[in-house]
Each structure stands twice: as C-alpha cells, then as structure tokens.
Amino acid sequence: MTGRRDLDGIWTVLASRPPAAGVVTAPTGYRVSAGDLLAGIDSEGRRHLLIPLSAGEAARTDTKGRAVHLARIAEGGLQYLTVFCRLPELHRVFTQFCRELVESIEDAASPAREASAAFDRWRALFSEAEQHDQLSDEALIGLMGELVAVERILGHGAPPDLRFWVGPHSDLHDLRSATHAIEVKATLAREGRIVAISSIDQLQEPEGSDLVLLHLRFDRDPGGLNLTELITRVLAAGAHRPELERRLREVGADPHDLATYGARRFRLTDMRAYDVGGPAFPRLVRSDFAIGDLPPGTLRLSYSIDLTNEPPIPLSDALVDEVLASLAEEVAHAMDS
C-alpha cells in the first residue's frame, strides 16, 4: 500500500502543536476494513494509535498497566480502539510495537481482537521497559533537590507557571532569572561533599548574572518525604499543576503513577549554597585555558570538585534567602511587564 508514513515522524510533528483537549490526529497510510488508522497526540503529549471499529465490533480495554493502555475513543464521529503510551521514556519501544501492530491488523478479520492479542504479546516487554526506566535513586534525589528549591522560590512569590525552573528543559542551569542562576546538586552520600560537574560550562556564570551552587544532602529515612508528598508541598506553595506535571514528564517521572516511588523516602539533612564566582571556589571554565577555550580535539570535559572543607565558605542562610527572593521577584516582574 502506498502513502504509508513513518509513525515516529507523525507523532513528532503532532507533538509540536498538541491540543488543549482531546486528541489531534493524522493519517498513517494504513487502513483496515472500518477505515484509516490514525496517529494521535493528546493534550498531555501522549502518543496514540487509533484503530477504527466497525459497527458493533467488540473491543477490549485495559488501563491497568503503567506504560501502555487500551481504550475506546470517539473521534470525528467514529469509534476507535486507541493504544496509547503514558511514559515518554518508552516512546521507542511503543513505536516498535505499533509498527508491528499496523502490519498485523490490516488483513485481520477483527483488527481490535488482533490488537488485543499483540498487546498481550508485548506486555512483558512493556513491564520490563517501564521498570528499567524508573528514575534511579540518583536521578530521584536530583529531582527532589530541585523541587525543594522550587518550593522555596515559590514561597517568595515566584510565578506559578514555574518559568524559572528551566532544568527539565535541558537548560545549562536549573533555576534562572535575569541576573541569577542556580545549579542544584543533591546527594545521598553521608560523608564529604564531592560534586560531579557535567560540562566545562556548568560552573560558568551566564552573562550579566551571578551563579550559585546549591548542595543538598539527603538520607534514606522511612519517616521522611517521598516524591508524591514533596510534589504536594510544591503545589501547595502555588505551582500550577499542568506546568509541574509537564516538567516531571520531561525528567522521566510519570505524574500519574508516582505511587511507584512511595516507598523511597528521604530526609533533607543539610543544605549549603556557594557563590561559584567567589574566592577559592574550585572550578574550570573556558578562560582557564591558554587559548581561552578547550584545547583542540577535546570534545567534552567533566570533572568533580570537593566542597568538604573550607574554603570555599558557604553563603549564610540570610544571603541564600535573599538570592532566592531576588530571583522570584525578577521573574515575577518580567511576567508583569
């Protein structure tokens, strides 16, 4: 059959203009007896494959899994069985599944029944993939560290749309305003303050801005906070839920299935902040090299710094609070102007 399109490409294009509600769709070039198969993106950015149903055709639904669901949906006056992926980190596996599925259902007597059977065949792989792609303790602690900082900044009146929290968007630093940047580092290590720096630019102040490194230490504690409870606190501090959930998805934490992290509880035991541009702070930046940049042939540089001893001297609590308040005020003012 001609006109077949690459599923991943269709989803990528649709994701550039997600709907405010419902599902936006596009033809795939595949067809069953009841009509054209559609690819879709919903308002939460989830990928769908819509299989048209004949009048009276039975279609099994299954919404028990964490990764992929089967559901009925009405679109354009027609009834569809939709298969959709709830975890962005599983898009690759889901695309493989859908490519197999569209080939297998074209000539099937009951496309819905064949889709259900294919779903069962792939269930174990979905389960394995979703377990593999849960946030590691290191990534979870990193996220919780950022959420602690976000909660404090919201407490100083920052906009609820979280525009200042840019880390999930792969920005160089985690929190930003016009003249302040904050890089958040969190750890479970009980001894020392060894901090991994991922690039030559991570400890470089943005032009016209200062840069603070916020170091948080957590301990495992059955009586401590889990991710759901910390998110609840951030929402209580004023965060808009859609913006918060969007950032959670971007870092690989499904906002609709946070219960999987419920048993992983931590207590914040120490938080220190450092002026990265201050005296005796250990760092490498491009200007440290004789040519003003990384030597030719050096593609990437990562390193670790030790903040265990003083100097460098951490900022006082009052000064940290001042920086957070100033960042919040700047972002709020920029939104109003």
Residue 89 shares a structural domain with residue 146: no
Residue 35 domain-assigned (yes or no)? yes
Residue 115 shares a structural domain with residue 145: no
Residue 128 shares a structural domain with residue 141: no
Q: Do 38 and 80 contact (CB within 8 A), yes or no?
A: yes
Q: Quick one: pLDDT band at residue 127, thresholds 50, 70, 90?
A: low
84, with CB counted inside 10 A (0-12, 13-18, 19+), is buried
Q: What is the dihedral of CA 82, 83, 88, 91, to 10 degrees?
A: -130
Residue 156 shares a structural domain with residue 294: yes
Residue 209 shares a structural domain with residue 229: yes
Domain limit, last residue, from 73, 102, 132:
132
H-helix or E-strand spanning residue 128: helix 111-132
Number of domains into which the chain is organized: 2
Q: What confidence score (pLDDT) does residue 2 get?
A: 42
Domain limit, last residue, from 132, 156, 181:
132
Task: Tell the residue number behind the tokens 């490519």, with chain if given.
Answer: 99
Residue 190 shares a structural domain with residue 208: yes
Residue 179 shares a structural domain with residue 154: yes
Residue 36 shares a structural domain with residue 176: no
Q: Quick one: pLDDT band at residue 43, thresholds 50, 70, 90?
A: confident
Backbone φ, ψ for residue 62 (5° rounding): -155, 110
CA–CA distances in Å: residue 198 to residues 14, 70, 195, 204, 220: 32, 40, 10, 12, 25
| Residue 128 reports pLDDT greater than 70 | no
> Three-class SS of residue 20?
coil
Residue 101 shares a structural domain with residue 199: no
pLDDT digits (tens, 9 = 90+) for 168-219: 876 789 999 999 999 999 998 888 899 888 888 889 898 899 999 999 999 9
Residue 92 shares a structural domain with residue 161: no
Residue 217 shares a structural domain with residue 293: yes
Residue 171 shares a structural domain with residue 110: no
Domain limit, last residue, from 80, 109, 132:
132
Q: Which domain holds residue 114?
A: 7-132
Task: Tell the residue number behind the tokens 């059955």, with chain if given.
Answer: 222
Q: Do 76 and 34 contact (CB within 8 A), yes or no?
A: no
State what percent of residues in the chain have pLDDT above 70: 93
Residue 24 β-bridge partners: 41
